Chains A and B, each alone.
Chain A
Amino acid sequence: MDRVKTGIVGLDTMLNGGLLPARPYVISGPTGSGKTILSAHFLLEGLGQHEPCLLVTLDEPPIEVKSNMATFGWNLDRLKILDATPDVRAHKRQRSVIDVGTALDVRDMEDVTEIRQSSGIRALEVNVHSVQKMIKQEFAHHLERTKERYKRIVIDSMTALKMFSMQGQDSRVLTQSFLRFLAELESTTLIVSERLDRKILETEFFLSRGEIRLHKWVDGSVVRRAISIEKFRVETRLIDEVSNVIESVMKGIEDAHRRQVPIRDVEVSLSRAMLAFQRRNYRKAMKIALGCDSDLKERLRQAPPAPPTAIPPRPPLVAR
């Protein structure tokens, strides 16, 4: 399975190539540790590869996201942004009748010009249902318009969604359902989440397929940052495994050469395995390499034992 690059070279190395496609992941860390910037890297990487990307913002209004990212000189114009920041609350009795799901808007980042003004008549309240519905609609529209699915989604942040949009409801069940919803979309999703209390196990942390954690601490008078991978469901160490097998076959071949066993055909099929490996067809590479391995072992077993390695004559001892 091809990995999804995060846009940060070092992180991709830590992840052995990147994230697995079509799964939800959590980015956690304290305030100001760089979670939003990391997710922007992720989106930028996607845009660079012409993948459709969607940012669902619940914390910051889109215009602020835009100007913050502009300070890095990043161009996120082609990014779709779903503004799910709640309006100023109307402290009046009457409730809005309108279905909020239709009032949220999705637009290109380049069309974002100013903060959305709260309407005087009805206040837009965001709940998890409306966010879900909106993402679903946008997904369907996008598929219809471009015949493409969104490849990358960022939810910034889950903490806001839980704090402001799940009040009075069973947040565990709603979070489970929301993660299930994201998984069924089959996009690679980053969920930004602040870990508020280490003693409480938040649902998204154990349901996500991986957690990248950012750390921030004060060391003397400087703020230091670090990154770690807390959890990562890996499909396979198949890559490592294939390269191990190939390596052992190569050692066997060397051995065979030394013992002058004819193994031309094994070498040919090993090169086919290596070609498949380069093309990232690991499954095929594995199959061929395993074939080579057993062939070679058989061949070596039948061959006469290795001649004793010649011991170079020792230099005469020099008395001091």
Chain B
Amino acid sequence: MTAAAKIRTGIAGLDKMLHGGFVPGRPYIVSGPPGAGKTILAMQFLREGLEGGERCLFVALEEPPNELKINMRGFRWNLDDLDVLDANSDIRRFEPTPILEISTEEEPIKVRALGDRIRKTPDFESKEVTVHSLQQLLKTLLLKRNYERVVIDSITALKYFCMREFEEAVTTQSFMRYLAESKVTSLLTLELPEEGEVPPEAFLARGEIRLHKLRDETGIKRFISVEKYKGSSHDEFVYAFDITNAGIVLNTAA
């Protein structure tokens, strides 16, 4: 695939590493330990889309959207037109109460309309997100709004909180399959443990960008690498990066 037909990631150095950007219409993974910069990278991906007038959706499974908005304020990116879907489950009820599946009523909210405070769990009902309901909801949303870029933050949260443990592998596979079929370019964040094996989600995606966090005497250093990228050549080097006022910046010169 030629570089021209690829879509840009919003990070100049990363585009260079990917020899142009992502192949459109496929799901990609950005992995790394907590605090590595995954959400920021994903946000830059969406911002790139917004600037080109594309419709973008952020599915928040880890952080409440109000906090996300505050976190991103410092970068002074114009994210007003970004749709955010709050897929955080409410506080669980311990008494049997009717559970609302989110697919029935939830709608994404534009960032500009997000409030400053956290949404409170209502007293008599609570919202529960299951992978099934989320998929259903995405289906209608994609049809209705024609999203071009979608971020799922994170697939780990989806796996941990929205699936039954015994069917995790199958359900994750089917969710990725669904994303691929819907022909949207999607970026899924994946939490990595400090050491040990990489979770199986990584091999289901068409590409994996990994963020590394190393600690030495001078502090925490961050690195980025492209672990795999199907259907395209890519850079094999590992580059250092910094999180600056302008987001993630790669030190490709070094």
Contact = CB atoms under 8 A, between A and B. Distances in A.
Contact of B193 (A20, A198, A241): A198
B4 interface: no
Interface stretch (B45-53, B99-107, B132-140, B154-162): B154-162
A206 B154 contact: yes
Interface stretch (B16-24, B83-91, B233-241): B83-91
A181 B91 CA distance: 6
Contact of B74 (A170, A183, A186, A241): A241
A210 B63 CA distance: 12
B196 A211 contact: no
Contacts of B245: 237, 240-241
Contacts of B144: none
Nearest to B37: A231
Contact of B195 (A22, A198, A210, A229): A198
A174 interface: yes
Contacts of B73: 235-236, 238
Contacts of B88: 180
21 contacts: A23-B67, A173-B89, A176-B89, A176-B161, A177-B90, A183-B64, A183-B118, A184-B118, A198-B196, A200-B196, A203-B160, A206-B157, A207-B157, A211-B34, A211-B35, A229-B35, A230-B34, A231-B35, A235-B70, A236-B70, A241-B245
Contacts of B89: 173, 176-177, 180
B208 interface: no
Contacts of B67: 23, 209, 233
Contacts of A207: 62, 157
Interface residues of A, number: 41
Contacts of B94: 129
B165 interface: yes
Nearest to B217: A226
B215 A201 contact: no
Most chain A beta-carbon contacts within 10 A, residue among B89, B92, B157: B92
A209 B63 contact: yes
A205 interface: yes
Interface string A229-273: 111111111101100000000000000000000000000000000
Interface string A35-63: 00000000000000000000000000000
Interface in A52-76: none
A74 B117 CA distance: 34
Interface string A11-24: 00000000010110
Given A235-B70, A238-B74, 14 more contacts: A1-B70, A172-B161, A176-B157, A177-B89, A177-B90, A180-B91, A180-B121, A200-B193, A228-B220, A230-B34, A230-B213, A234-B71, A237-B74, A241-B76
Contacts of A238: 73-74
Contacts of A91: none
Q: Is the interface of A mostly helix, strand, loop or mixed?
A: mixed
A92 interface: no
A170 B168 CA distance: 14
Nearest to A14: B219
B192 interface: yes
Given A176-B161, A232-B35, A237-B245, A201 B195 contact: no
B194 interface: yes
Interface of A: 1, 20, 22-23, 129, 132, 170, 172-174, 176-177, 180-181, 183-184, 186, 198-201, 203, 205-207, 209-211, 228-238, 240-241
Interface string B205-228: 000000001010001100000000
Q: Is the interface of B mostly helix, strand, loop or mixed?
A: loop
Contacts of A236: 70, 73-74
Given A199-B193, A199-B196, A235-B71, A172 B91 contact: no
A184 B121 contact: yes
Given A176-B160, A199-B193, A186 B70 contact: no
Contacts of A210: 35
A202 to B, nearest CB: 9
A236 B40 CA distance: 12
Contact of A231 (B34, B91, B120, B196): B34
Most chain A beta-carbon contacts within 10 A, residue among B34, B74, B117, B121: B34
A174 B76 contact: no
Nearest to A183: B118
A172 B193 contact: no
A85 B74 CA distance: 42
A149 to B, nearest CB: 13
A188 B35 CA distance: 19
B76 A172 contact: no
A209 B66 CA distance: 13
A206 B62 contact: yes
B191 interface: yes
A211 B35 CA distance: 8
A209 B64 CA distance: 10
A206 B74 contact: no
B160 A172 contact: yes
B33 to A, nearest CB: 8
3 smallest CB-CB distances across A and B, nearest first, come from A231-B35, A236-B74, A199-B196
